Amino acid sequence: MATIKIPPVLRPSVGGEKEIGASGASVGEVLRDLAANHPATQEQLFSADGELNRYVNVYLNDEDVRVLDGLNTAVSEGDVLVILPAMAGGR
Amino acid sequence: MSPPSGAELLRQVKSRIDEVDPAEVNELIDEGVTIVDVRGSEEFATGHLPGAKSIPRGHLESRIEGAAPDRSAELILYCASGSRSAYAARTLKEDLGYERVRSMTGGITLWKDRGYDVEVPRALSSEQRERYSRHLLIPEIGAEGQQKLLDAKVLLLGAGGLGSPTALYLAAAGVGTLGIVDNDEVDLSNLQRQVIHNSERIGTPKVDSAEQSIRALNPDVQVRKYPVRIDSSNIVEIIEGYDVVVDGVDNFPTRYLLNDATVRLKIPVVSASILGFDGQLSVFKPYDGPCYRCLFREPPPAELAPSCGANGVLGVLPGTMGLLQATEVIKLITGIGDPAIGRLLLYDALAATLTEVKVHRDPDCPICSRDPDEIADEELGVFPDYEAFCAAAG
């Protein structure tokens, strides 16, 4: 089981939770497990072809999965995934 | 024989040393001759010959070797009128063996009368030493760092939630020039967090309100006001010449535009954003680290970008994030510490946690993977669905 940190804009899609546990041996599996349990996140995370949307950054612990193996990056028990869309509020 | 009078002693000393006229010194300056000012340090601070070194006469014997290690090299001494430098020249000639030491006739008084250049050293005034005394006590800042702050030009995009605390603390810290871009007026709903404004200034342009607060806090600070909305037609003209830009804008199109223009001009950006109880911060230093487009390749679709309309924010949150920005600005200007380059800090106010993730330069970045000269005007701020972006968000 890995922990996924949910950003503010996605919290309404997961019942307001800030952290969700999800299972899987890779980043892709963990995120698809999240989407299976919280279908509203599917379109926000994945494009139609099943890839991560370009405007969503995902970090395994503190490293961007794009510089690792992307969705194929192996996930271990206790790892933390951070989902991070851009924010622009300043006022 | 009775001892000589002061005037007689001076006459005797002058007869034993060599003197030089200011006209010759003025020519020798260009040849790099060593010139030593033997007046007190407070006199030196009021103005001195260009390139002169300060060694008050009382410290002459102990310090002259630091300024003039070669005793056979040409050396010129001066004071206010030519008396103290005559005594000093005798000491160097007769006691320390300086072979080519001369005293300038008439001192800096005659020098000034002849209209030659005087250099006024950039020293902190006594009021500044008092005002910035807590900076001067930190060795990492000190007088040198404070001078860097006073010389610095920082542009704040927005005098709102983030810009308010940033502007106040940078002004207090003595950042010499603060530019403020904001085309808004102070509104009652701003005052829950925009602490540079106040109730009496509702309806006043934010740039004017911010200027009043800054002036009241620190008259050392020059305020440049830009009561405009930044866009691709004015951005380069506005940001050019600034040392650091502080990004507190509330929308994606402007953030991408700012990124592209600052990469082209190689100006570092201290960027923060806030929403609800969460804040993000990073420093984008062009070509030393990633840029905003390396971090966020594309803006999110409008429904996932709750930045277009009014959103709730805990009033203190922009204070926290704005002061983290001000801290990064001071680090960049003074060159101390490790700025948040290549790192994104995520602050969760409710959890009281600060998480950090790495940000890498994107080798395929449409902007910073290229030479700055190759980035054309029409490429600045290219943004998908610019017109439709906020309309779609409702």
Is the domain of B210 the same as that of B349? yes
* Cβ contact A7–B278 (<8 Å): yes
**Strand B75-78 to strand B18-20: parallel, antiparallel, or no bridges (unpaired)?**
unpaired
User: In this structure, what is the dihedral angle of CA atoms A50, A39, B309, A16, given to the nearest 10 degrees?
Assistant: -130
Is the domain of B101 the same as that of B163? no
* Cβ contact A85–B351 (<8 Å): no
From residue A51, give the alpha-carbon distance in Å to each of A75, B53, B144: 17, 67, 52
Domain membership flag for residue B384: yes
Q: Mean pLDDT, to the nearest integer, of A29-49?
A: 93
Is the domain of B167 the same as that of B75? no
The full length of chain A comes to: 91
Is the domain of B109 the same as that of B191? no
- The CA angle B124-B181-B143, to the nearest 5 degrees, is 15
Is the domain of B210 the same as that of B62? no
Tokens, residue B313: 């924010």
The CATH number of whichever domain residue B293 belongs to comes to 3.40.50.720
Is the domain of B273 the same as that of B322? yes
Domain membership flag for residue B143: no
Tokens, residue B383: 């943004």
Tokens, residue B349: 């106010």
Instruction: Single out the residue in B82, B113, B144 at which a domain terminates.
Output: B113
Q: How many domains does chain B have?
A: 2
User: Cβ contacts (< 8 Å) between B252 and chain A: which residues?
Assistant: 86, 88
Is the domain of B68 the same as that of B173? no
Query: How many other CB atoms are found less than 10 A from the CB of residue B195?
Result: 19
Domain membership flag for residue B147: no
Among B163, B273, B357, whose Cβ lies nearest the Cβ of A59? B357
Is the domain of B71 the same as that of B180? no
Q: Mean pLDDT, to the nearest integer, of A26-44?
A: 94
* Cβ contact B359–A64 (<8 Å): yes
Instruction: Single out the residue in B113, B142, B176 at which a domain terminates.
Output: B113
Give kind and range of the element (H or E) at residue B178: strand B177-181
CA nearest B345 in A: which residue?
Answer: A62
**Residue B181 CB contacts under 8 Å (≥ 6 apart), including other chains:** B155, B156, B157, B158, B207, B226, B228, B230, B238
* Cβ contact A90–B296 (<8 Å): no
The CATH number of whichever domain residue B29 belongs to comes to 3.40.250.10
Q: Is B248 on the interface with A (CB under 8 A)?
A: yes
CA nearest A57 in B: which residue?
Answer: B296
Is the domain of B44 the same as that of B94? yes
Res B386: pLDDT: 43
Whole-complex ipTM: 0.91
Domain membership flag for residue B250: yes
From residue B262, give the alpha-carbon distance in Å to each of A41, B235, B336: 34, 9, 22
**Structural domain that includes position B260:** 152-393
Res B394: pLDDT: 39
Is the domain of B167 the same as that of B295? yes
* Cβ contact A86–B296 (<8 Å): yes
Distance (Å) from the alpha carbon of B75 to chain A's nearest alpha carbon = 60
d(CA B169, CA B157): 15
* Cβ contact A87–B351 (<8 Å): no
d(CA B63, CA B60): 5
Picking from B90, B28, B99, B110, the residue whose alpha carbon sits closest to that of residue B68 is B99
User: Cβ contacts (< 8 Å) between A5 and chain B: which residues?
Assistant: 355
Q: Is A70 on the interface with B (CB under 8 A)?
A: no
User: Cβ contacts (< 8 Å) between A66 and chain B: which residues?
Assistant: 360
Q: Are B302 and B392 in contact (CB under 8 A)?
A: yes
Q: Is B109 on the interface with A (CB under 8 A)?
A: no
Is the domain of B96 the same as that of B210? no
Domain membership flag for residue B127: no
- Percent of chain A at pLDDT > 70 equals 95
**Strand A80-85 to strand A2-5: parallel, antiparallel, or no bridges (unpaired)?**
parallel
Domain membership flag for residue B93: yes
Q: Are A49 and A41 in contact (CB under 8 A)?
A: no
User: Cβ contacts (< 8 Å) between B356 and chain A: which residues?
Assistant: 62
Domain membership flag for residue B119: no
Query: Which of B181, B193, B250, B357 is the best residue to mutate to test the A interface, defined by the most A CB atoms within 10 Å of its own CB?
Result: B357
Distance (Å) from the alpha carbon of B376 to chain A's nearest alpha carbon = 25
pLDDT averages per 10-residue partition of chain B, 394 residues: 89 96 94 93 87 91 90 96 97 95 97 93 88 92 92 96 97 98 96 97 98 97 96 93 92 89 96 90 96 88 60 91 98 96 95 94 91 79 55 46
- Judged against a pLDDT cut of 70, whether residue A89 lies above it is answered with no
Q: Are B269 and B259 in contact (CB under 8 A)?
A: yes
Residue-range domains of chain A with CATH: 2-85 (3.10.20.30)
Picking from B293, B301, B305, B231, the residue whose alpha carbon sits closest to that of residue B260 is B293
Q: SS3 letters for B198-240?
A: CHHHCCCEHHHHHHHHHHHHCCCCEEEEECCCCCCCCHHHHHC
Count helices and strands in chain A by DSSP H and E runs? 2, 5
Per the listing, tokens 């800054």 go with B214
Domain membership flag for residue B310: yes
B contact residues 271-300, partner A, Cβ 8 Å cutoff: 272-278, 280, 295-300
Q: Mean pLDDT, to the nearest integer, of A26-53?
A: 92
Is the domain of B250 the same as that of B341? yes
Instruction: Single out the residue in B113, B134, B167 at which a domain terminates.
Output: B113
Picking from A36, A38, A75, A35, the residue whose alpha carbon sits closest to that of residue A52 is A35
